[in-house]
A and B are shown apart, each in its own frame.
Chain A
């Protein structure tokens, strides 16, 4: 079964850091682009970041550029999001999603995890 399982969410103070992880199974992880998408409570979907199959192409939303870093370890079938200088507006449910193709900017997202919640509060 194709599956994505996020972890690493939690309560963090403004200005602090958090690292999210996404464990992939049921497909050849190294062949596909991957994404992080977030959804604040009661709000719409916001694309956060994407990474190509070989980490050669990476993109970020303007709202997180310079603060968040996406990475992947194909040997461990894992995707990561390092979040620094967290703000109240970063509070959301963070989804890991698989791209249909090898590049994050060439296709839709056909598999989604259940998400991990990030709460930013003092």
Chain B
């Protein structure tokens, strides 16, 4: 099975900072990658699919890039409401593995 490894596992940044989260697949998955945001005590929310396509209604400060095995989620200017745990997920074939998550906090 393909493993999904996220880094870092947590980060602390200031409001307005550029934040980058990395997700690495143990084998190539083309662009079959999604990113989710889960705020504390809330249900996960789809941010990006097909590695770089922004889901409707998601603020444009979020962006995704990559293909094959290396992917990134970028928040261009971190906002207080972005405090959450972010997960990548591959969906090219079962099992649809999630990464371990990256917890983003405000410094």
Contacts and interface: CB of A to CB of B under 8 A. Distances in A.
Interface of A: 35, 37, 44-47, 50, 59-62, 95, 97, 100, 104-110, 112-115
Contacts, number: 72
28 contacts: A44-B99, A44-B100, A45-B89, A45-B98, A46-B98, A47-B95, A47-B98, A50-B96, A62-B95, A95-B43, A97-B44, A100-B46, A105-B91, A105-B92, A105-B93, A106-B32, A106-B91, A107-B34, A107-B91, A108-B34, A108-B49, A109-B46, A110-B55, A112-B43, A112-B44, A112-B45, A113-B43, A115-B43
Given A62-B1, A108-B46, A108-B49, A35 B96 contact: yes
A45 B96 contact: no
B30 to A, nearest CB: 11
A99 B92 CA distance: 13
Main secondary structure of the interface of B (DSSP, over half): loop
Nearest to B49: A108
Contacts of B87: 44-45
Interface string B73-95: 00000000000010101011111
